[in-house]
Structure 1
């Protein structure tokens, strides 16, 4: 019988600066040494320029090293501070994958044009043997000043890395992971099977062009080589699409997490989004983008949707649930902004300010107290007493208004607000009506002819909720007759997709009417809050499986995953699914260390933490259980 040839061993060669660490160590040493030097910024800029020229292959390494050290008034006493900074600057994906370095320490090498003086204290913490680290060494004078480098060291020359790998004569497949041109040279000289351009910290076009693979993180490298143990799926493969000019903080947070992020200022129409969404894992939208069932038919990679606003009626939540897509919104982040706009508009309408201001711009001096009133002592009617309505209630009362409210759900009054038992009861007695209802289908034209007719003559009307909830034609009619003294409208049945499109509405050019372009929540503070909150919920869901505050998933708040693998099973809410999951786990003698289950009327969500050791057949059988919608593994 012929023996099966064994696979060749794999050896891993890592660069240090801007690969193992996020920084170039000599640049950091320069910052430390020049801390109080008035010429600091100019010298730092020149050192970084020289570094980049070398990394891009524009100048020789020996030339760059000599030039940088000539600019560097460093002392051996600066090195402990440098080492401290480098230990804090290890690339996040390296830190995540400490287990990889421990498991393969005998086949991991660090080959750097940097200096052992600061590299060894860092690599020692990752179980890399000192004799597997190849780097330059400083020379010092009698006072401890750094005077240069050991010129006899191979790594002080242009072909130093190639010479080191040649001398090692590694008997197996050699993979080089680095960010510089000198790392590529090892592959070009024929001493490495593959060169991976590491881009987690810096992207050099001239290096990327030479690479066999681009690896935005060590996770990606390990995933490609089926060696991933720290995380189940590289975050750089998770593509995020953010539409409608979402606050830059959202993109920043998601990029820092390691995701690919693409942004667009405007909404996309159904056909555009259906095509774009095919490769997207996370979609972020505001109110204009319509995520329909047709769009979702193409969303086979989509894990989550973030609505960077309060409402979610622009998203087909039923279709999302059927495909196992979690939806998150920002129910609280812009509440204050909407409330302040409502208060401001009530005051403006009570005083007829917009018409007076327009007249002034045309040269008219219309000084008069007629139809100009204080809001103190007036009755405010709030329709919808949720987050916004209740906060408006408190602020309006503090400004001297008498507050009345109506909600189809029994809500506790705040302050001295008066609860009304019907909408008609509220409308007949208040001076201002303001709508704060959601955009569900049954609320379409919620406020129509009978409701306007029930309002007190001369009352004011505000809609800062959803454009579809008001019969605009009837509102216009009552404004023209004077029955409605004034109105403020922030939302419309049809809205432009971008600032370049014309706004068309029957409410244009009407007296004492304030029209705003759906900006109730569009303050810098609110958008910043939303830009922090929604990505946080999405990342929590992707990273841990927690669905807390999802609008369509059973809400599960989970502990951090520790020393286990997490199985997440999303299924149609049918009898027997949990029993089938338990049978699979029992069949393979799986030890369960934690289990969580919640259901709503449509779907069930089971999260199971199990020991790390299990057969791939377990995963196959769990995926195959009847009524399974989506199955994920986290570790």
Structure 2
């Protein structure tokens, strides 16, 4: 770990687009030209000159002179800019203020920007004012900027090199910046390493010449073994999101600093085995299968997010064995599925689909034959979970009699009535709606035998899982008239992407509504899921909380305070907690908080400890018999 020694390491940090998220001079122009008829054009010109200078595409001195000529600003505008920049300090610098204060004697800000707006920002973050080197404005008597101090070496080409040479720093010098002029300090031989800082902007020419790429200050500190706010830089943690999950999910992870890869479609097993390598978090919907083989190739996977209700597409047993937590969205799209069920039920019982098809062919068939109201009809639901209970309430409000069958004893909502057997439900229902989960035992739950038990002219709907209904038997029931109308949203085999053809024997059948697995596909539902699943994944990654996990013991943890949090996942065997506590005692570790939860497969121990401990102590924890995974957060 780097420490302050006789020959310390010095840190040269750029300001614009490094310490802050923006270019100060560009923002000053935008502020000063507010209301100017040519504002957009002039600001764009200044930004273009800035970019060319940062990429090393033009003389820095020439670019700076031309930018100042275009600028029309005064001291009042600088004050506004300073207030604005206080809100634009780079996230990783905000998180690591302790580094700036602890290493204040070794940190220098060397910038081509201007002291007038740099000093107020960096000194509030702990940087010494006498360690700030930047250009300075010249003002007239009214406080208007009329030029720059050309005696300042930073206003010239190679100015940073000249400045650093005069500092004559005795020790290693590491440069952190986003521009080519920052790299030139390394090129000149005055710096030992150049870190291309890409948290805010990535310039390819700068990245290509860097010794290291630092996507955040956390990553720079991690690389140099310096104390930091994150135990492991989030910019190094890869998130793979498949099946076109909602953009708010992508945004949630990116705002936290994770490296996100987004894929529109699903991946087959072979593709996924390759793509999942080095991935720590994966987000899927219903088409992607996370098999045991996939998990065996997932060398860094810590968590899976199912952006849907079900998790039957995930091998939960294999995930648990490998210490991978799984989260889903059991409630977020409930209302959307219910509304589709109600809509299809009414369309089918009114025989609207065939009439609509006839109308498109020019046939006018104004008759009531085969059209009925839903009021007074018996709705039979197979499965009475979150969707079933809410459908029950809405259907009852429409005047229907509601019955349900579930293998689990459920309390009926409203006037709904539970029947004892599936056979009883099939025989009494006018409308049957499937709402079971995707477990293997439910495969072909409804087949020829079950259709034969139903009333003639029954309305049948499956918005649950494709494999719970024998499609061949359903086709025969529709063709024979046993089923007067069907609504199917899920299928045993579904296209992976929108470019694939949907193939099914159900195509072309009269009074059959086919929808492409969109029961939960409303904007409202997808936004809800896009918020809910990442929030659970982020709580687990940031805090260790497993609340709402489908395979881990549920633990709701307080926020991590001024301590380090150890997360120990182990096989649920006797004596593990005793061994852990023995190691804590033998190493004189002060425990500030401890939590333990188990399920039938694993135990999950969370311990908050004081920051002083040895590497040997951590090694002992990892080597306890039965350990599946160990993580440390701080």
Q: Return the alpha-carbon distance in structure 2 between the equivalents of residues 457 and 13 of structure 1.
A: 81
Q: Return the alpha-carbon distance in structure 1 between the equivalents of residues 301 and 597 of structure 2.
A: 22
Q: Return the alpha-carbon distance in structure 2 between the equivalents of residues 100 and 179 of structure 1.
A: 20
Structure 2: gaps (5+ residues): none
State the match for 1:526 in structure 2: 525
Q: Return the alpha-carbon distance in structure 1 between the equivalents of residues 286 and 246 of structure 2.
A: 14
Q: Return the alpha-carbon distance in structure 1 between the equivalents of residues 627 and 88 of structure 2.
A: 43
Q: Return the alpha-carbon distance in structure 2 between the equivalents of residues 440 and 132 of structure 1.
A: 64
Deviations 1:232-263 (A, max 9, x none): 10111111111112222222221221111112
Q: Which runs of 4+ in 1 moved over 6 A?
A: none
Q: Return the alpha-carbon distance in structure 2 between the equivalents of residues 88 and 502 of structure 1.
A: 50
Q: Return the alpha-carbon distance in structure 1 between the equivalents of residues 256 and 587 of structure 2.
A: 35
State the match for 1:453 in structure 2: 452
Deviation at 1:37, TM superposition (A): 2.4
Question: Does residue 1:570 correspond to 2:603, yes or no?
Answer: no
Kept after mapping to 2: 8 A contact 1:120/1:133: yes
SS at match of 2:553: coil
State the match for 2:633 in structure 1: 634
- Superposed, 1:172-211 pairs within 5 Å as 172-211=171-210
SS at match of 2:428: coil
State the match for 1:361 in structure 2: 360
Q: Return the alpha-carbon distance in structure 1 between the equivalents of residues 30 and 595 of structure 2.
A: 50
- Superposed, 1:427-466 pairs within 5 Å as 427-466=426-465
- Superposed, 1:125-164 pairs within 5 Å as 125-164=124-163
SS at match of 1:461: strand
Kept after mapping to 2: 8 A contact 1:282/1:302: yes
Q: Return the alpha-carbon distance in structure 2 between the equivalents of residues 475 and 597 of structure 1.
A: 49
State the match for 1:289 in structure 2: 288
Q: RMSD over aligned Cα, in angstroms?
A: 1.4
Question: Does residue 1:169 correspond to 2:168, yes or no?
Answer: yes
State the match for 1:3 in structure 2: none
Question: Does residue 1:81 correspond to 2:80, yes or no?
Answer: yes
State the match for 2:408 in structure 1: 409
- Superposed, 1:178-327 pairs within 5 Å as 178-327=177-326
Deviation at 1:167, TM superposition (A): 0.5
State the match for 1:106 in structure 2: 105
Deviations 1:24-55 (A, max 9, x none): 11122122222232322222222211111111
Q: Return the alpha-carbon distance in structure 2 between the equivalents of residues 261 and 321 of structure 1.
A: 24
Deviations 1:370-417 (A, max 9, x none): 001122222211221111111111222222222222222222222322
Between 513-522 and 350-359, the greater mean CA deviation after superposition = 350-359
Structure 1: gaps (5+ residues): 1-5
SS at match of 2:277: helix
TM-score by length of 1: 0.97
State the match for 1:426 in structure 2: 425
SS at match of 1:496: coil
Deviations 1:156-187 (A, max 9, x none): 11211101110011111100000011111111
State the match for 2:53 in structure 1: 54
State the match for 1:339 in structure 2: 338
State the match for 1:377 in structure 2: 376
State the match for 1:120 in structure 2: 119
Q: Return the alpha-carbon distance in structure 2 between the equivalents of residues 18 and 441 of structure 1.
A: 53
SS at match of 1:456: coil
SS at match of 1:127: coil
Kept after mapping to 2: 8 A contact 1:383/1:407: yes
Deviations 1:169-226 (A, max 9, x none): 1111100000011111111111101111100000111111111111110011111111
Q: Return the alpha-carbon distance in structure 2 between the equivalents of residues 426 and 170 of structure 1.
A: 84
SS at match of 1:598: strand
Q: Return the alpha-carbon distance in structure 2 between the equivalents of residues 39 and 417 of structure 1.
A: 68
State the match for 2:558 in structure 1: 559
Q: Return the alpha-carbon distance in structure 2 between the equivalents of residues 462 and 196 of structure 1.
A: 59
Question: Does residue 1:24 correspond to 2:23, yes or no?
Answer: yes
Deviation at 1:8, TM superposition (A): 4.7
State the match for 2:91 in structure 1: 92
Deviation at 1:322, TM superposition (A): 0.2
Q: Return the alpha-carbon distance in structure 1 between the equivalents of residues 18 and 138 of structure 2.
A: 25
Deviations 1:550-603 (A, max 9, x none): 111111111110100000000010011111111111110111101111111001
Deviation at 1:426, TM superposition (A): 2.3
Q: Return the alpha-carbon distance in structure 1 between the equivalents of residues 28 and 544 of structure 2.
A: 42
Deviations 1:97-154 (A, max 9, x none): 1111121111100000111111111111222111111011111111111111111111
Deviations 1:252-307 (A, max 9, x none): 22122111111222211111111221211111111111111111111120011111
Deviation at 1:60, TM superposition (A): 1.8
Deviation at 1:483, TM superposition (A): 1.1
Question: Does residue 1:514 correspond to 2:513, yes or no?
Answer: yes
Kept after mapping to 2: 8 A contact 1:219/1:228: no
SS at match of 1:510: coil
- Superposed, 1:593-608 pairs within 5 Å as 593-608=592-607
SS at match of 1:36: coil
TM-score by length of 2: 0.97
- Superposed, 1:529-540 pairs within 5 Å as 529-540=528-539
Kept after mapping to 2: 8 A contact 1:569/1:632: yes
State the match for 2:578 in structure 1: 579
Q: Return the alpha-carbon distance in structure 1 between the equivalents of residues 124 and 612 of structure 2.
A: 27
SS at match of 2:461: strand
Question: Does residue 1:491 correspond to 2:486, yes or no?
Answer: no
